[in-house]
Each structure stands twice: as C-alpha cells, then as structure tokens.
Structure 1
Amino acid sequence: MPSDDRLLAQDIEAYLDRHQHKTLLRFITCGSVDDGKSTLIGRLLYDSQLILDDQVSGLRKDAKAGTEEENLDLALLVDGLAAEREQGITIDVAYRFFHTERRKFIVADTPGHEQYTRNMVTGASTADLAVVLVDARKGVLTQTRRHSYLVRLVGVRRVVLAVNKMDLIGWSRDEFDRIVAEYRAFAARLGIKEVQAIPMSALKGDNITRQSDHTPWYDGPTLMQHLETVEVANEAASGPLRMPVQWVNRPNLDFRGYSGLIAQGTVRPGDAVRVTPSGRTSTVTRIVTFDGDLDEARAGQSVTLTLADEIDISRGDVLCAADAPAEAAAQFEADIVWMADEALLPGRSYLVKMGAATVPAQVTEIKHRIDVNTLDEMAAKVLELNEIGRCNLAFSRPVPFAPYAETPDLGAFIIIDRISNATVGAGVIHFALRRSQNVHWQALAVDASARAGLKQQKPACLWFTGLSGAGKSTIANLVEKRLHSLGRHTYLLDGDNVRHGLNKDLGFTEADRVENVRRVAEVARLMSDAGLIVLVSFISPFRAERRMARTLFDEGRFFEVFVDTPLEVAEARDVKGLYKKARAGRLANFTGIDSPYEAPEQPEMHIHADQVSAERAAAAIVERLAEAGLFRA
C-alpha cells in the first residue's frame, strides 16, 4: 500500500500538472474615475478566497468601526502606491495574478483619470479582454468612450460592460437597459462586436462570483463565470514565423545565437528563415532554451535560434519564414495616442521604438484627430495631451513591420522624446504608405567626397542660433566674407531670406517653426553634399529641431554656434522693431517674449556677443574651422 507521503506527492504532481495546462486570460479593467475598478478586482480576489489572512486583517484594521465584512475597502488590495491610498484613486497600472479551478488570470487595474491615460494604454496593450466599468448613476461618460476607443485601437475585441453600483439606483432594469443600449451603439461604431453586459455591485459582491437576488430579471453569467468561459484564441500561432531579434547571444567563440520572443508562427530545426530587412537567408540548426534544446517553438515562447550560416543579424531585425517574410518600409499610416503636455508637432524628430528597433522618426502629417465622443474626424495641426490622431509617420530607414491587426508585436510602437528620453506617445501601424515602397536612393557616380575634393575643403554646416537681434546674421555674414577671401566655397541660409521663397508659406506658430527648421536643415544637408561649407542663421529656438539638424550630418561636420546675447541687450537693439510690436501684443509667438528660447547646452562655439565684437567672433570661428581640418588656412 502506498505511503501517505507518496499519495501527497502524487496529489501535488497532479495539481501542478493540471495548473500548468490551464489557459491564461489577460484582462484589463478600465473606465472613468471612481467607477469602482479597484474595488471590483479586490472583490474578485476576496470572493475567490485568494487573499492572505494578513491582508484581510489589514483591511479590517483600516476599516472604520462597525464596518460590515461585505463593505470592507477592497480597493486597498490593489492600490499599492501611498498617493493612491491617500487620494482614493488609481495612478499606476497594478497587475494581479490569480487562478480558479478552470483558468489562470492576469488582471491589469488601470487609472481612470485622464492625465494617466498613458498608463491605461500600457495595461491594454497585452489584454485579451477589457472590463469597462460604468457607474450606473452617471452612465456612459467621455472617459468611458475614450478607454473603449483605446482598447479597440490596441486590438482588444472582447468587452464586458460592467454596470456597477446598481444598488445605488435601486437595481433599476430600465436604467441598466438604457446604459447598455447606449454603449452597444457606440461599441458597434468602433467595431467591437462582443459585448457582455452585467449589472453588478462590486462593493456588495452582486453578480461578481455569485448570482444576485436583486437581479431576477438578469439571466446572464456572473463576471467570474464569463471570465472562466470566454474563448481566447491564440491567433498568432497560426501565421508564418516572426521573431524580432532582441539580443545577439555570443557567450564564446563557439556559439552564436539570436534571442527573442516569437511573435507569430512556429519554428523547428531545419526550417528555412529569411532576415528582414536585409533579405539574407539561412536554416535553423537549433532551438536553445535554458532548459535545453526544443524540437519546436511557437508564438509566445522566448528562445535562442542558431543558424547554419554566419550572416549579419542585429538587434531589431526580424527572423521570418523564408517563403513568407515580413515587409520592411520607412513610411506608414498610423494612429497615435499623444501622452505629453507638450504637443506633438509634425516635422519634429523623435525616437520611435518598435519591437526591438529604435529609429529616428517624425510625423510628417496629422490627417485628423478623433473626437472620442462622436468619433468624428476633426482637422488638427498638432496633437495635444490625450488626443488621438491618424498620422503619416516617416522613419529614417526601413524597418520590419506588420499591420497591428495582423501581428501586434510588429505593428505597435512608442514615441520617445530625444532630449528627455520620456515616452510621449504610443501608436499602431495600419499600413505602409505606397510611396515608401516606390522611392529609392539613386546611385550617383560623383559623390560628396569627390565634390568636396574638387573644392579642396571638407563640407560642414555652421548653425548660428540665438535670440532675434543677437547678432547671428551679422557674424555669419562676416564669417562667410572671411571664408570667401580664403577661397572657400560657401553659402549662407538666412532665416529672413529663406522666408521670402522656400518657407514663405509658413507662419510663426510652434508647428510652423519646426517645419521651418526642418526644411532648412534638409537644404543645408544637400548643400553640404555638394561640398559646400553652409552657414545657417536661424533663431531655431527649440533644442529638438537643432538636434534633428545635427543628425543629418556626419560626426564632426556640424558646428552649433550659440550667439549668446542677453534679452535686454537684444531688445535694446531692436533693429527691426519686432520686440516693440511683440510687447504691444501686435506680434504673437515672438521668441523671448511669449515664446520660449531653449539655449544650447553643449554648442561647439559659444559667442558672448555682448562682450566681444562681431569681427573678433568671426575671426575666432574661422580659426576653429581651420583647426577642425576643414581647409588649410
């Protein structure tokens, strides 16, 4: 007869095996502030008896005297930040893992406040289902619609409409039906077809894990019953192989592998693979994991693949099925959710992280923004905080991609500010713009070095920046005269002169200033390619645009010249009368008055124009260029 220990071991093994093969549902709770999201998750955990005794004791200790067991503040089980407990709101995304006999769950409790929309998008990005809460007293609100739009945007197809706090409206069936009808009509316009509406009280526990006696007119499932039985299809497993390379694994000279999470499809040793975007091909020899080699790996698994051939593969490349490779493109139509206080400006250079690749990019056009209440398409030149817009996005080089609807891992991206390194936006790709497939670099027989050699100089860009009236144009003009006298080939792009032609269609809004600098930077790059020493004299008040201009030139070929003049000195000069107009309110968006100037932090040349003459400044700049080896003085 087997011993008790052996029986116990068998029971444990059987339990672990059963638990290991349970399906996993990732879901998110979202909605407006105070709709009861944290309380709902706390109730799910509490009624499922998944709360430790010390946590329950802590809830009772925090409760007011005489508080009944069913009225404990269950939101405290989820709200972990001190600020959340103090304010009674959710700020960060809180993830909780729990399980029942039928399924495992990972739930993301996301904030309802509009200012924390970015956190909500983070939680929704990996969800299979969204529980959208509505306060029965308030009905469908703007934030309800915004969150529903966002969950649909990131690919969530299944929604539970949790009409909460029904006890506070007397469990009115008519009010419940009115809210459900309004929400279903909105969801249908979004393309959300699977909506399960449940009347509930998260605080009291009605229709959460048990059927409520207060809703005899409701014959649908409880929330837990629905979560346990809703189908979760792994659509990613059925497509062709897609594995973004996150790391080139080279622990020693005898091993080279390519590590990453399989985003789509399956792979086996012997399979032919193609690298996107390079197009190189090889064959998989091994599938390596920490626990040993595998005969097969599928979507959702992190593995290291070794190949039969030593080919050039870098982080950000994608290993694909050889007969069905991923596309690569540099321009896309995408939906973007803007998450920063400072508006998204077309033409401004950002970093975009898509998969494992991080690439400089810019929004070239905002086609429209979305009114989340009406879903109308509104004209927009910029995107403000929490606005959603359809945009054209241009990368600095082709990147592997797939439409988000097909492969989320290859179609989602975040936008990073190049100066602060903060995440300022997120988006999903719809498709590549056709022109990005049709426009290619034309190989030319005469290159930049040949043109520069003919002129016996090295091309460069001198970027003069400073306040209006600082003396930029004066110094730049003197520098060009000195260079011309030395036989150097130059061209001066002056801010006022360029606005008479190339940029005459631009005004002085922040968005127009960004485009003004972008165009001039591209022209300066072309002139530099022609072998010229280009002088650019522009206020160019924003660091982001000056940094963008710098990226267009090779290392050591861009010189930022900060003509540093105190505002009071520049204003006292007021050669053009602009400061006087700005002070009188007749000239809007004037740098230094009602529009900021962001001084360079590490310019190649810093000219204190109130302390040195323009002639001496020009001489010092020319000397610096000669020292840099651009020409022989």
Structure 2
Amino acid sequence: MTDPIYKTDALIAEDIDAYLEAHQHKTMLRFITCGSVDDGKSTLIGRLLYDSKMIFEDQLATLEADSKRVGTQGGNIDFALLVDGLAAEREQGITIDVAYRFFATEKRKFIVADTPGHEQYTRNMVTGASTADLAVILIDARKGVLTQTRRHSYLVQLLGIKNVVLAVNKMDLVDYDQATYDAIIEDYTNFARSIGIEEFVAIPISGLAGDNIAAHSDTMPWYTGPALLPHLEEVEISNTVEQEQPFSMPVQWVNRPNLDFRGFAGLIATGSIRPGDSVRVLPSGKTSEVARIVSLEGDRELAVAGESVTLTLKDEIDCSRGQVIVAAQAPLEVADQFESTIVWMDEQEMVPGRAYWMKIGTQTVSATVQHPKYEVNVNTQEQLAAKTLDLNAIGVANITLDREIPFDAYDNNHALGGFILIDKITNATVAAGLINFALRRSTNVHWQATDIDRADHAAMKNQKPAVVWLTGLSGSGKSTIGNILEKKLARMNRHTFLLDGDNVRHGLNKDLGFTEADRIENIRRVGEVAKLMTDAGLIVITAFISPFRSERDMVRSMMQPGEFVEVFVDTPLEVAEERDVKGLYAKARSGQLKNFTGIDSPYEAPFNAEIRIDTTAMSPEEAADAIIDRLIP
C-alpha cells in the first residue's frame, strides 16, 4: 500500500491544478500606499510581502544580511530594502519612483503601488493612484498630519478612490500611546470631512515590528478594529457603479484579420452589452446593432464593464480607433471645450495658450489650456488666484480642443473623463486632468455653412491660398523680405496680405505684452486671422519672431495640408544685434527690456522649415525670389 505521506506525480499535478484554479478565481485588489517622506511606506509593503510568505529563502537571507550592514534599529529586518530597489533610493533612504509589487494570500490577490513621499514626486503618486481601488495613507505617529498627508488625501478624493485606510505607523516609537493616536485621528477626521472624505478605516500599526499588520497585536489592547491585512482581504471592491451606467466602450483597435471579419476591440468602460443591442458610434452618431461579442474564450452572450472584448456590428459603418461605441438610447455628450481640474506634474510651469497633446480614452487631440480660474490650497481648500500652475499645483482651468470628442464627467466615467497632457516638443507628460463639465458655449456655437466656400474664393482669384510664415530673430530681415515678397507677388497679379508683427500689436494685439503666455496668445490670434484670410483665397505673408516651435506648429495645424510654408530667416545673433535698427538689443542688454528673444528669452529654431534663408549669403531680393519659386513652381 502506498504511504499517504508520499503522493504520486498524478496527485501532485492534481493539487497544482486545484491550486491554480483557486488562484485564478481570487479577486484582485489594487491599492496604493502614500504619505509624507519616511512615513514607512516601503517598510509596510515589505512587511506585507513577508507576512504573506511572498519572499524566497535566498531573498530573505540577502535581506537579513543587508539589514545587518545598514544597522537596522534593534537588529530587526529592514523590510524597506525589499521595495526600494533603485540604487538612488537606497543611498538617499527615500522612494523616488512608483514601485509595483504583487502578492497574494489565501483569500485575495494584490497589486500594491509604493509611491514617493517627497513633494517633488507627487506626480508619481498620481500615476500610482490612477488605477487603485483603495488607498493606504500613512502617518508617522511622531509627526501627525503633515502638508503632504493633506495633499495626498486631496488627490485620493479627487481621483475618486472610495476605500481609504489611515494607517498611523511607528506606534512603537510613541510607546503605543492611545492618546497620541486619538489626537491624530481627530485632526485627520476634521480635514478629511472638509475635502469630502466621509468614511475611512483607521488602524494603528508598526510596520517594522509587525503590530496590527497580519493580526491583532497585544501591544495595543485598546484598539479593537481590524488588522491591516485582514481588512485588505475583506474590503468590498466592486464595479457595480460602472456596470449600472449606460454602455460605453472606447475603440482601441479595429480587428480585421481577413475580409470576412471586421470587429472593434476595446475595454468596456461602463455598462453592459449583449448581441442585438442598439449602439451608436460617436462622434459621428451612426447607429447599428451588435452582431457578436467575441473574446478569447469564444462568443459571449454578455459583456460588462472592465472586460476587454471585440464587437462586430450588423451594418458597415465607419468606426476607428479613438471613437466611442455607446448605447444608442443613452449617448454621451460631444464637445470641444471643458472646465477641468488639472494636476500639474512638470517642472516647467504651465503656459496658458500653449497647445499640448491631450490623451483621453484611446484618442489623442490637440488641447489649449486657458489661464487658471484658480489654484487650490490643499491645506485650507482656499481658491487662490493664479496666472499659471507650477509643479504639483492643483487648479481649475478651461480647455479648448481642436475637435469635438465624446466624453463624460470624471465622477461618472474615469476612462472618458480623465486625461493626461503631453508636451508636443519633449513628449513629456506634463499634467493629469479630470473633466468637470462641458462649457455651454461649446454646444451653443455652431459653424454656419455658406454657399461660397474657400475653393470658390481661390478660384475667383486664380491662385492657391497659402501662409508664408517668416520666423527669425529680431533684426533678421523678416519684415524687409516680406515687403519685397508682397510687391513681387502683386506684380504677378497675386492677391496677398502682409501681417507684420509690429503692425498687429497696434490694434488686434495691443492688449498683449511680451511674457511667454502673451507671445503664445499673440501667435494664436495671428494664426486665426491668417486662417480666415486663406479661406478668402489670399496668399498671407506673416513676419513674426514667433520664437516657440509649438506655437508655429499650432498655426500649421490650423491650415489645410500644404498651405503653411515656414520660412526660417536664419541670421546669427551677433549679426542681428549689429543691425539693431530699432535699438531693442541695446535696451535688452541694459536691462530696460525684459523677455527679449535672443537675450533673456529663447528662440527655438525650426527643425524642418520648408525654406531656410541665410541672410549672410543671400540678399532680401534673392530671398523673395526663392520663396516665390517654392510657392509658384
């Protein structure tokens, strides 16, 4: 008879299959740890990994050796070393990046994001919180509620995380004093209510000693609530709110493996869908019915929020990546202007009027942020006047897009109400934002169709509209070249108009100064005027320093393909300064003229201008001829 202690390979395989089956059907909790610097976030996560037996023997041996080397207090294991994997973090003793860790218990699987505590890295905390179901906010029992505690709590509430745990850590360093704990809870409760956090679970812990982490600790008999890990195992997480809303799914990919199949793949953001349901594609508004719901497991009779599927439709209608499939009877709003809450995440301040890429859902559009309505003081909730937003600032501002998009308020739909802003030049993510609502003017203002269109205007003038955009330093010769160019085109019976930088500041833009934001608004207005003139069939010549690439690209995006001709009037600074016809460089050098391009404000030369004019080797007449050769082959 086989000894029951020893199992056959078949029994072992059966045990493994049973374990994998049980593990596969465990629920998943995504949570974030946040707080101020050195509140013990990494130590806590290391302790959770240790208590859930997610550390291999060789890792534990290395951890014990590393702890002895760094001289951990009381000879304890330094569990933070499990998480602070970056060399820079170990050297500084702080977390500077978002560290994601996976662990599991008998009841649940977990993904935890350990986020930085230092104010400089608040942007990383937003990244970690964007997908979290629960937030563990740590407080050092010795320090109490700090500014960073308030900032992280405000962001947790702003991002819609409903489950909040307040972990008062390092209770061992205050002799497990209940009065200290109670004072912290009272302080935090008053603040939490002021920002809309009505409920949270408070737990006194010691990450280093393990008190109230995996089980109740005898060191704090006065505490009768749950230990942290059991609470994480039992807390209810559900997407019933998303499932109860009308169906919406941003299209991630058009699946066309062959001529007989055309489906639209994506992650269902809200609601549920069945074959035969009527749907609408936004922003076009075309309607159809769902023919099939296709998944890796085969065709489905039902799909709900949080699931990735491919939908096929009964009708051949236009639908592509970035568009949104919604319930036909409950379509989302479509707009191009919004009020939004913005968390600025870049070291360079926000520049009102500058165009950024906005990524929302599965599409990317061009967005312009207006001057902030106000900035929020996270400590007092006071609304402060602000001209811009600096690193980690939270404010409210209007955003204008280059096209209409389907959307929902972030409170209703995180996928179609949350967005990021990306710098068009550096491709750096500069902000995260939440749509509050569409501006009424975006739905009340409509484009008026006319019988005589831009093609008719161009045909009447017998020419192709264009914008010749002369850019370069002050004194480079832009206005001189532009004037000669217009005279030559006039002699060729071409219909033109010259927009000169100095001239428009006498009227259209006389209210603008020379700050970076004002320069951007100056170019935006000129671009809009130039666009109207091309609609009238004109060849528009502009002479502007226009120092920033992003603003020149903004104007280019306003025009029809091929109509924007960027001319880089390339003159070395020393040559332009020698000319100094208007005496501007002398004033800038003496400090009388601030924000002057080339002196104390940068000029960003074009990367790929259609025409480059070297004024040290070419006369203004020759430059004008070169431009005409490009315009009129």
TM-score (norm 1): 0.95
1:63 alignment partner, SS class: helix
1:194 maps to a residue whose letter is E
Deviates more, 1:120-129 or 1:83-92: 83-92
1:207 is displaced (CA, Å) by 1.4
Query: What residue number does 1:630 align with?
Result: none
Query: What residue number does 1:415 align with?
Result: 421
Query: Which of residues 508, 519, 522 is equivalent to 1:516?
Result: 522
Query: Which of residues 623, 629, 632 is equivalent to 1:626?
Result: 632
The answer to whether residue 600 in structure 2 is matched with residue 594 in structure 1 is yes
Query: Which of residues 226, 234, 242 is equivalent to 2:231?
Result: 226
Q: Give the distance between the partners of 1:225 and 1:561, measured in 2 at CA.
A: 67
Q: Give the distance between the partners of 1:357 and 1:523, measured in 2 at CA.
A: 28
The answer to whether residue 422 in structure 2 is matched with residue 424 in structure 1 is no
Query: Which of residues 151, 171, 183 is equivalent to 1:166?
Result: 171
1:408 is displaced (CA, Å) by 0.6
1:120 is displaced (CA, Å) by 1.3
1:443 is displaced (CA, Å) by 1.1
Query: Which of residues 23, 28, 35 is equivalent to 1:19?
Result: 23
2:68–2:75 CA contact under 8 A, matched in 1: no
Q: Give the distance between the partners of 1:397 and 1:378, measured in 2 at CA.
A: 31
Query: Which of residues 523, 529, 535 is equivalent to 1:529?
Result: 535
> 1:399-548 to 2 correspondence within 5 Å?
399-548=405-554
Q: Give the distance between the partners of 2:492 and 2:550, measured in 1 at CA.
A: 34
Q: Give the distance between the partners of 1:409 and 1:541, measured in 2 at CA.
A: 36
1:13 is displaced (CA, Å) by 4.9
1:70 is displaced (CA, Å) by 7.3
Change over 3 Å in CA distance of 1:156–1:164 after alignment to 2: same
Q: Give the distance between the partners of 1:166 and 1:63, measured in 2 at CA.
A: 21
Deviates more, 1:400-409 or 1:150-159: 150-159
> 1:86-97 to 2 correspondence within 5 Å?
86-97=91-102
1:172 is displaced (CA, Å) by 2.8
> Deviation per CA, 1:455-480, whole angstroms, max 9, x where unpaired?
11111001111111111111111111
Q: Give the distance between the partners of 2:604 and 2:11, measured in 1 at CA.
A: 73
Query: Which of residues 75, 80, 84 is equivalent to 2:80?
Result: 75
Q: Give the distance between the partners of 1:524 and 1:185, measured in 2 at CA.
A: 55
Q: Give the distance between the partners of 1:16 and 1:437, measured in 2 at CA.
A: 53
Query: Which of residues 35, 50, 53 is equivalent to 1:46?
Result: 50
> 1:90-239 to 2 correspondence within 5 Å?
90-234=95-239, 235-239=241-245
1:177 is displaced (CA, Å) by 2.1
> Deviation per CA, 1:76-121, whole angstroms, max 9, x where unpaired?
2222323223332222222222222222221111112223222211
Q: Give the distance between the partners of 1:188 and 1:510, measured in 2 at CA.
A: 39
Change over 3 Å in CA distance of 1:624–1:13 after alignment to 2: closer
Query: What residue number does 2:573 align with?
Result: 567
1:349–1:545 CA contact under 8 A, matched in 2: yes
2:286–2:317 CA contact under 8 A, matched in 1: yes
> Deviation per CA, 1:502-559, whole angstroms, max 9, x where unpaired?
1111111111111111111111111111111111111111111011011111221111
Query: Which of residues 371, 383, 386 is equivalent to 2:392?
Result: 386
Deviates more, 1:460-469 or 1:205-214: 205-214
Query: What residue number does 1:61 align with?
Result: 65
2:524 alignment partner, SS class: helix
2:97 alignment partner, SS class: coil
2:482–2:543 CA contact under 8 A, matched in 1: yes
2:371–2:388 CA contact under 8 A, matched in 1: no
Q: Give the distance between the partners of 1:252 and 1:70, measured in 2 at CA.
A: 65
Q: Give the distance between the partners of 1:301 and 1:69, measured in 2 at CA.
A: 48
Deviates more, 1:452-461 or 1:197-206: 197-206
1:168 maps to a residue whose letter is L
1:41–1:78 CA contact under 8 A, matched in 2: yes
Query: What residue number does 1:34 align with?
Result: 38
2:472 maps to a residue whose letter is G
Query: What residue number does 2:367 align with?
Result: 361
> Deviation per CA, 1:243-280, whole angstroms, max 9, x where unpaired?
11100000001111110111111111121111111111
2:72–2:78 CA contact under 8 A, matched in 1: no
Q: Give the distance between the partners of 1:596 and 1:174, measured in 2 at CA.
A: 57
Deviates more, 1:542-551 or 1:325-334: 325-334
> Deviation per CA, 1:590-610, whole angstroms, max 9, x where unpaired?
111111111111111111123
2:112 alignment partner, SS class: strand
Q: Give the distance between the partners of 1:367 and 1:171, measured in 2 at CA.
A: 46
1:188 is displaced (CA, Å) by 1.1
Query: Which of residues 538, 558, 565 is equivalent to 2:564?
Result: 558
1:238 is displaced (CA, Å) by 1.5
> Deviation per CA, 1:21-79, whole angstroms, max 9, x where unpaired?
33322110011121111111110110122212121111022122686897212112222
Query: What residue number does 2:255 align with?
Result: 249
Query: What residue number does 1:631 align with?
Result: none
1:585 alignment partner, SS class: coil
Q: Give the distance between the partners of 2:306 and 2:159, measured in 1 at CA.
A: 18
1:611 alignment partner, SS class: coil
Query: What residue number does 1:580 align with?
Result: 586
2:68 alignment partner, SS class: coil
Q: Give the distance between the partners of 2:509 and 2:180, measured in 1 at CA.
A: 58
1:10 is displaced (CA, Å) by 5.6
Q: Give the distance between the partners of 1:85 and 1:79, measured in 2 at CA.
A: 6
2:255 alignment partner, SS class: strand
1:567 maps to a residue whose letter is L
1:194 alignment partner, SS class: coil
How many equivalent pairs are there?
Answer: 627
Q: Give the distance between the partners of 2:184 and 2:547, measured in 1 at CA.
A: 50
Query: Which of residues 372, 376, 396 is equivalent to 1:370?
Result: 376
Q: Give the distance between the partners of 1:303 and 1:285, measured in 2 at CA.
A: 13
Change over 3 Å in CA distance of 1:567–1:67 after alignment to 2: closer
| Identity across the alignment (%) | 65
1:336 maps to a residue whose letter is I
2:361–2:415 CA contact under 8 A, matched in 1: yes
1:76 maps to a residue whose letter is L
Query: What residue number does 1:301 align with?
Result: 307
1:147 alignment partner, SS class: helix
Is there any run of 5+ residues in structure 1 with no aligned partner, and where? 628-633
1:7 is displaced (CA, Å) by 6.0
2:470–2:541 CA contact under 8 A, matched in 1: yes
2:592 alignment partner, SS class: coil
Q: CA RMSD in A?
A: 1.9
Q: Give the distance between the partners of 1:457 and 1:594, measured in 2 at CA.
A: 42
1:536 alignment partner, SS class: strand
Query: What residue number does 2:284 align with?
Result: 278
Q: Give the distance between the partners of 2:178 and 2:599, measured in 1 at CA.
A: 59
Q: Give the distance between the partners of 2:32 and 2:529, measured in 1 at CA.
A: 48
